[in-house]
Structure 1
Amino acid sequence: MHSLPPEFDRGVVTTVHQGDCHVGDVPDVTFSTVLGSCISACVRDRVANVGGMNHFLLAEQSGSARDRYGASARYGAFAMEQLINKVLSRGTGKKQNLEIKIFGGGKINSALDDVGAKNIEFIRQFLSVEGYVATSEDVGGTYARRVLFKPYSGRAFVKRLDSDLGASVAREEMALARRRVIAPVPADDIELF
C-alpha cells in the first residue's frame, strides 16, 4: 500500500458530495470525493492558483435524438458550467488559463446499465463542445475511486478502492438514480496511491 505524499498528509480537507461544487485558493486546502459511476471534474486557473471540484451523476438517459441524455444532461452541464464559472470569476477570467482533470465513470454495479460509460461520454462531449481538453484523467474501469485535489497547486491523487467500499458507493448511486434527483438549470499529473 502506498501512502499519501506529504502535501496530502495535512491541511483542511473538504468532502465534495454528489451535487456539490467547491472552489478554493488556499495552499493547505484539499478537496476529497469518492466516485463510482459519478464524474468529478477538477478545474484550475493555473495563473491565479484557484481551483475547484464538482461531483455529478447523470441519472437517466432519454431516447430523444435532440436531447440525448435527457433532463440529467442539463444537470451535468449545469455542474460543469457552475464549476468553470466559479473558477473563472475567482481567477483571471481567461479560459485559456484553465486546466481540467476528470475522474470517475466506473462500472461498479451491473444494475446501473453502465451509467459510468455514459457519464464519461457526456463529460468528453461537453469539454469538446466548449473548446476544452482534459489535461489528465482517470476514468472507467470496474472500481470506485477516492480523488484528492489541491486547488492551489492543481495536484490530484487517485486511490482505487476495494470491492467492499465500491459496493457501498454503488448502493448510494443506485438510490440517487432511482430518485432521479435533477438540479434546476439556471455548470500536474495524476498519481495513484
Structure 2
Amino acid sequence: MTSSLPPEFDRGVVTTVHQGDCHVSAAADLTYSTVLGSCISACVRDRVALVGGMNHFLLAEQSGAARDRYGASARYGAFAMEQLINKVLSLGSGKKANLEIKVFGGGKINSALDDVGAKNIDFVRQFLHDEGYVLAGQDVGGTYARRVLFKPHSGRAFVKRLDSDMGANVAREEIAIAKRRVVARPPVDDIELF
C-alpha cells in the first residue's frame, strides 16, 4: 500500500491534537495531527530555535456583548492562542520576531450550524493582527473538513481536504457539541494542498 503523504510526514511519531489541546515540541521526528471542521488550529514555530506547536479550539456562537465582540468563546480562543505562543516563546528563543504562524480550519461543513467557521477565521485573524503577527500561511474556510499535519521542528504543514463522509462525521461531532453548548475545557498545563 502506498502512502499519499510526502516522505517527511510518513515516518516518526504522530501526536493527535484534540479540541482544547495545545502541544509544543522541538523533536525532529514528531508530527502533530488534527482533523478540523469549523474549529481552528494554529501552528506556531520559532524559526531560530526550531521549536513549534499546535493548538485546536472551537469558538461558540457570537455573544451580543458590546465590550467583547465574541463573548466568552473569544476569551477561550484568546487563551488557546496565548498559551501556544507563550509555550513556543518559553521553549524557543523568546523573541516574537522569530515566530511564524499558520492557521487552518474554519470550514462551513454543515448548513444546520451558524457559520461558526467564518467567526473563527475572523477571530484568529483579528487576534493575530492585534498582537502584531503576520500569517506565514493558511488554509481556512471552504465547505469541507480537513486533516492537518504539522512538523514543529521544520515548520512544514500538510493539509488534506477530506471527503464528504469524513466531513459528515466531523459535522455530527460539532453539532453534538453545539447542542450541549459545551466548549472543550481549556487545557491545564510551508503549506502543501492536494
TM-score, shorter chain, exceeding 0.5: yes
Q: What is the DSSP-based 3-state SS (H/G/I as helix, E as strand, rest coil) of the residue aligned with 1:89? A: helix
Cα deviations by residue, 1:156-192 (Å, 9 ceiling, x for unpaired):
0000000010010011111222233344699xx2001
Structure 1 residue runs of 4+, over 3 Å off?
182-186
Alignment of 1:5 onto 2:28: no
Cα contact 2:3–2:10 (8 A) shared by 1 = no
Q: Quote the Cα distance in structure 1 between the aligned partners of 2:187 and 2:45.
A: 23
State the Cα distance separating 1:145 from its structure 2 match. 0.2
- Who is 2:28 aligned against? 27
Question: Does structure 2 conserve the Cα–Cα contact (< 8 Å) formed by 1:20 and 1:54?
Answer: yes
Give the share of equivalent positions with the same residue, in percent.
83
How far apart in 2 are the matches of 1:123 and 1:167? 24
Aligned to 2:69: 68
How many matched pairs?
A: 191
Amino acid at match of 1:50: V
Give the AA of the match of 1:102.
V
Could you state the TM-score of these two structures normalised by the residue count of structure 2? 0.94
1:107·1:115 contact (CA, 8 Å) conserved in 2? yes
Letter in 2 for 1:6: P
**Aligned counterpart, 2:109:** 108
Q: Contact (CA 8 Å) 1:112, 1:174: kept in 2 or not?
A: yes
- 1:84-110, Cα deviation, whole Å (9 max, x unpaired): 000000000000000000000000011
Q: Secondary structure at the match of 1:111?
A: coil
List gaps (5 residues or longer) in structure 2.
none
Q: 1:184 to 1:104 in 2, by over 3 A?
A: closer
Alignment check: 8 A CA contact 1:59 1:176 kept = no
Distance change (3 Å), C-alpha of 1:143 and 1:86: same
Cα shift readout 1:95-140 (whole Å, capped 9, x = no counterpart):
0000000000000011111100000000000000011111100000
Tell me if structure 2 keeps the 8 A contact 1:40–1:102: yes
Residue of structure 1 in register with 2:87 after alignment: 86
Separation in 1, partners of 2:70, 2:179: 16
Distance in 1 between residues matched to 2:107 and 2:180, nearest whole Å: 20
Describe the SS at the equivalent of 1:56: coil
> Any gaps of 5 or more consecutive residues in structure 1?
none
Once residues 187 and 35 of structure 2 are traced to their aligned partners in structure 1, the CA distance between those partners, rounded to angstroms, is 24
